[in-house]
């Protein structure tokens, strides 16, 4: 089989069936190589994006937990002040 180069193209009509199949398989493999590379890079990019989003989610969850702890403390403080106000109010009513 005569090699297929940019200058001397292979003549398909002069090839045997087996040579044509081998030739077409080579073309298919060359065509699929960049597609496979693209798919691998897309997958890697997807994974990187997922990891980044998971990191953002973890940070947001940590901030939420800190805010929740602050809210709990603030509610406890408000409840204590409310009790103190109620006690003072009762004392005032007795005077």
* Domain membership flag for residue 4: no
Q: What is the pLDDT of residue 6?
A: 66
Residue 25 lies in a domain: yes
Asked if 1 contacts 19 with a C-beta cutoff of 8 angstroms, the reply is yes
What three-state secondary structure class fits 5? coil
- CB distance 94 to 88 below 8 Å: no
Q: Dump pLDDT digits (tens) for 7-51.
A: 677 777 888 889 889 989 999 999 999 999 999 999 999 999 999
Q: 60 lies in a domain?
A: yes
Indicate whether 92 pLDDT > 60.
yes
Is residue 74 included in any domain, yes or no? yes
Give the pTM.
0.55
Q: Is residue 5 part of a domain?
A: no
Cβ contact 23:12 at 8 Å: yes
Give me the domain span that covers residue 33. 12-94
The number of domains in the chain is: 1
Give the residue from 58, 59, 40 showing the smallest Cα distance to 48.
40
């Amino acid at each position: 089989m005569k090699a297929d180069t940019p200058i001397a193209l292979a003549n398909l009509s002069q090839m045997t069936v087996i040579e044509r199949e081998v030739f077409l398989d080579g073309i298919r493999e060359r065509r699929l190589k960049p597609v496979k590379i693209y798919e691998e890079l897309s997958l890697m990019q997807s994974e990187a994006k997922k990891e980044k989003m998971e990191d953002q989610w973890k940070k947001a969850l940590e901030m939420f937990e800190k805010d929740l702890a602050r809210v709990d403390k603030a509610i406890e403080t408000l409840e204590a002040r409310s009790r103190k106000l109620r006690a003072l109010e009762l004392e005032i009513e007795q005077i």
